[in-house]
Amino acid sequence: MSSEKPLISIVSPVYRAEKMVSALVSGILASVGEITPNFEIILVNDCSPDNSWDFISKEAEKESRVKGVNLSRNFGQHYAITAGLSYAKGEWVIVMDCDLQDRPDEIPKLYHKALEGWDIVFAKRTQRKDSFRKKLMSKFFYKAYNYLSGLKFDGSIANFGIYNAKVIHQFNAMKEGARSFPSLIQYLGYKSTAVDVKHAERLEGTSSYSFATLLSLAGDVILSNSNKPLKQIVKLGFTISIFSFVVALYNVLAYFMGVIKVPGFTTTVFSIWFLGGLILTVLGIIGLYVGKIFDEVKGRQLYIVSEVVNID
């Protein structure tokens, strides 16, 4: 292996992709080879239940620029990306998914755009090749995500993009347990832009992201980046206070006007159930924030590497 610092590092998390690894590597070699021969491909196996690691190892045997990182268990896509970025040495770093929906032949477009003076160039999927169900879930996810997190995300932009080494250096310095690559990159700032790219059909299998997984990820990011849910609860409490005052005033007037024959029963029952549910909701949200604090203060590893190939 060459000791020269690579110009470009390509990082891709791998999960259930044994039939895609070879095509992914071939596509990257052909596309990035048009730019420079001095690059590295870092494939991070997120403890995939299939034979993805064996295929990564075989590709690494054939090509020294292919490097493999095998995690000890399944940590999740964004943790696998974090692991890969910790090994990346390139002046420019490309992050892409392994399913070939992020097309390797779009890499030169991202690179040449970055050379215009941008620190970050995102790949914008103008025509997503996903099912209607996945597009609908994604649209709902990003609307709720943007509203509650206080961040502004474009649903057509995901992980695929090119990032200057200084951006990745700052990303690696962030050690919080709740990981979302796009949200942490957005927090960093830097000069960024987006270019339209073609989005391909998934080569094999289906996405590992279910609606429940998306909700869990959204919850982690929202609680880690925003206190807006707590602010909304305060607004709700204030609204209920006004509503309660109006109801109380109505009951007083109705009592003196003889409208209420059995005073207090309906109002009492309604108040008990409504306020009881509200209190449990408030305690639940506070509990989630406390739980996140608990997770952070433990200071556990973000990921654990069990073995590597072609990495010193």
* Judgement on whether residues 168 and 284 belong to the same structural domain of the protein: no
Q: Which of 55-69, 156-170, 253-267 has the lowest mean pLDDT?
A: 253-267
Element (H, E) at 157: strand 157-164
Give the pLDDT of residue 167.
94
User: In the predicted model, is pLDDT for residue 178 greater than 60?
Assistant: yes
* Judgement on whether residues 195 and 293 belong to the same structural domain of the protein: no
Residue of higher predicted confidence among 239 and 105 = 105
Half-sphere exposure of 282 (CA within 13 A, CB side): 13
Total domains present in the chain: 2
pLDDT band at 95 (very low <50, low <70, confident <90, very high): very high
* Judgement on whether residues 262 and 218 belong to the same structural domain of the protein: no
* Judgement on whether residues 122 and 243 belong to the same structural domain of the protein: no
Give the pLDDT of residue 139.
65
User: In the predicted model, is pLDDT for residue 53 greater than 70?
Assistant: yes
Give the pLDDT of residue 290.
75
The residues, ordered by sequence, that sit 6+ positions from 184 with a Cβ below 8 Å of its Cβ are 171, 174
Asked whether residue 161 is domain-assigned, the answer is: yes
Asked whether residue 2 is domain-assigned, the answer is: no
Q: CA 198: distance to chain centroid?
A: 21
Over residues 189-209, the mean pLDDT reads 72
Asked whether residue 96 is domain-assigned, the answer is: yes
Segments forming the whole domain that contains residue 280:
228-298
Asked whether residue 18 is domain-assigned, the answer is: yes
Asked whether residue 276 is domain-assigned, the answer is: yes
Over residues 35-41, the mean pLDDT reads 93
Q: What percent of the chain has pLDDT over 70?
A: 64
Q: Which long-range contacts (CB under 8 A, 24 or more apart) does 283-290 make?
A: 285/229, 285/230, 285/233, 286/230, 288/219, 288/223, 289/223, 289/227, 289/230
Give the pLDDT of residue 129.
53
Asked whether residue 214 is domain-assigned, the answer is: yes
pTM: 0.70
Give the pLDDT of residue 119.
94
Residue of higher predicted confidence among 239 and 1 = 239
* Judgement on whether residues 158 and 34 belong to the same structural domain of the protein: yes
User: In the predicted model, is pLDDT for residue 90 greater than 60?
Assistant: yes
* Judgement on whether residues 278 and 202 belong to the same structural domain of the protein: no
- CATH label of the domain that carries residue 104: 3.90.550.10
